[in-house]
A and B are shown apart, each in its own frame.
Chain A
Amino acid sequence: MELFLNLCVSGLTKGSIYALIALGYTMVYGIIALINFAHGEIYMIGAFTALIFSMALGALGLSGWGLLLACGLLAAVYCAMYGWTLEKIAYKPLRGQSRLAPLISAIGMSIFLQNYVQLVQTPNFLAYPDLIPPLPFAGALSGVATKSQVAIVAATALSMIALTLFIKRTRMGLAMRAVSQDPTMARLSGVNIDRVISSTFVIGSVFAAVGGLLIGCATRQIDSYQGFLAGMKAFTAAVLGGIGSVPGAVIGSLILGFSESFAAGYVSSDYEDVVAFVLLILILTLRPDGIMGSATTQKV
């Protein structure tokens, strides 16, 4: 029973982490139907900038919640800038080209960013400080979940709510929904498509930055290649849930997180990814457009 409970917590945490990254994939895909391969690298850059600012600000005497918020904010701003620049360099000139061209330029960008961070920072693994201050209610949960697990799940839930409100309630959210439904029609109705696309990248990158910071605090180490595996898993989760759909990304992430966790717990950790991918293939065979994806009927 305890094992089951622990595996549930582990699955929930893992799923939440994937969800934070998957949101970026799914939003970008929803708007311009592009798999932003370099998104995992944005997450990695988020972790790095947060670490750098925590060291710089820590030396100035900041600590506790102030330090965490300041680092998170700065990392989010920088990731947003990186995401924005990425779109301008690698994707914008390719708009309207065949769908695979931006995919390859995204892969190029991902290779570039990995090596860029490795060159200007370090090829070594770096220790990450635990920036999350003690949580007031953590005592009650102590046997079940750790502080960083609570923080990750809470942050993901908050991000989800904020994003849903943003999409449902703001003008920009409305514009995003319009563009994702029909770009041409949206443009004709006076939506500035460039701005919508840029904001999508910015918002996705902000979530990636939050993810980078929190996962750094949980695993207590980073390196310039950490974005690759996490990015691949998050991308898988986003597709599983129905790419382009925000709740779908979260559901897909949770399914992936739980299935990996239970496969490791009850089958063998050697096959955790095998089980997850077999499940993916099964689900997609039954629901070819993902769990929350809407089946598109093609008319000729």
Chain B
Amino acid sequence: MRTITLSLSLCLAAFVSLSQASPAPAQETLKIGFGGALLGSLASYGLSNLYGIEVAIAKANAAGGVLGRQVELVKEDDSCDPALASSAATKLASQGIRLILGHTCSGATHSALSVYGGKAIVVSSSATDVYLTDSGDNPYFFRTTPRDDAQSSLQVRLLKAKGFTRVALLHDKGDYGKSLAELAEAAIKADPASGITVALVEGVTSGQVSYDAVVAKVKDAGVDAIIWGGYYNDASKLAINLRDRGVGAVIIGADGLYDERYVTMGGSAVEGSFATGQSDISQSAAAQEALAIHRKNHTEETGTYFFYSMAAAEALFAAVEKAGTADDLDLIKTHLTSDTVDTVMGPVRFDAKGDVIGAGFKLYEVKDGKFVEATL
């Protein structure tokens, strides 16, 4: 019993200290929250978000800050888990932060948005689920990534242009990947005149030791093309498995595939793959500058969402600057939706639902170990 009472009192003491842990918001710096996967198996994507945001903040601070205040980033990990996202979001909101960049995954974003309620502007750079904006539940939610359905229609146009008629839809059974596959299927079915048939819809378990069984099935189905719903890491594994078994079908992916690591990991097996993604701005002066800033601080690669995240931060900062306040959310929203901002991704503006307008969005092909722009 002594241990019980002792531990109980320790727990109570712990509580009191936990509740005192949040200091009063300081007025000197402008606090921006970031919620996303910094740990766990999806940390790779969350860190890519974080790197982009860090560069945008470094640039803003070097130019005198936002509203004359230095920007301070408060980052919280959610490991892409809806439950953790809920507590991470509450922690950010508890500190009086009204400007949020994130979250990384759609599921986590859903639950975080319910915490922010209407009390924070949230700009995500990787949550692609169509419901986030279409449902109309989240008036203060914006995103710089292209919507999943926009990518699907582009993929179907590619199929038609290349004359592919038998298609396999493969996905990674995750929220992002499965949505992509379902949207691609819907887009193909919506256009019966094209003569494209979906021969196969299969999922692979991400991280599984081999994808041979699905590969055997793809080989058996004799398809011309594979539409891949998921990220680059599983796709490169799949591509190697496919080529090893002598399957030549062309892999077509979305923005989760458009990552230079797809090519470094897949090597010759991914040659000829297609991906939809943001327009290639890596040669522009702004992008080069951003990459230089990033390399000064990190040895890691920038990752899939680096430029999207940087653009999200830049768009948010510009809107706050123009609104002249960090507290009037409606005013900031007006500026986000009405003004076009020059970001690292080019001119960016949001529509009334919160989807991005103007971020270039193109088709790429892997040629000679590089993603190059492809024409239909």
Contacts and interface: CB of A to CB of B under 8 A. Distances in A.
A2 interface: yes
A6 B216 contact: yes
B245 interface: yes
Interface string A196-224: 00000000000000000001001111010
B213 A260 contact: yes
A59 interface: no
A226 B39 CA distance: 14
Interface stretch (B40-48, B113-121, B147-155): B40-48
Interface stretch (A31-39, A183-191, A265-273, A277-285): A265-273
Contact of A122 (B40, B210, B245, B300): B300
B212 A215 contact: no
A220 B240 contact: yes
Interface residues of B, number: 38
Interface string A111-133: 00001001000111111000000
A147 B202 CA distance: 25
B39 A118 contact: yes
A10 interface: yes
Interface string A20-31: 000000000000
Contacts of A125: 44, 233, 261, 265
A269 B217 contact: yes
B7 interface: no
Nearest to B207: A229
Given A221-B237, A270-B173, A123 B209 contact: no
B327 interface: no
Contact of A13 (B204, B210, B267): B210
A265 B217 contact: yes
Interface string B197-224: 0000011110111101111110110000
Contacts of A79: none
A7 interface: yes
Nearest to B47: A123
Given A6-B245, A124-B261, A219-B240, A261 B47 contact: no
A223 B233 CA distance: 10
Interface of B: 39-41, 43-44, 47, 173, 202-205, 207-210, 212-217, 219-220, 233, 236-237, 240, 244-246, 261, 264-267, 300-301, 303
14 contacts: A10-B213, A14-B210, A14-B212, A123-B39, A124-B303, A125-B265, A127-B261, A219-B209, A220-B237, A220-B265, A264-B214, A269-B203, A272-B205, A273-B205
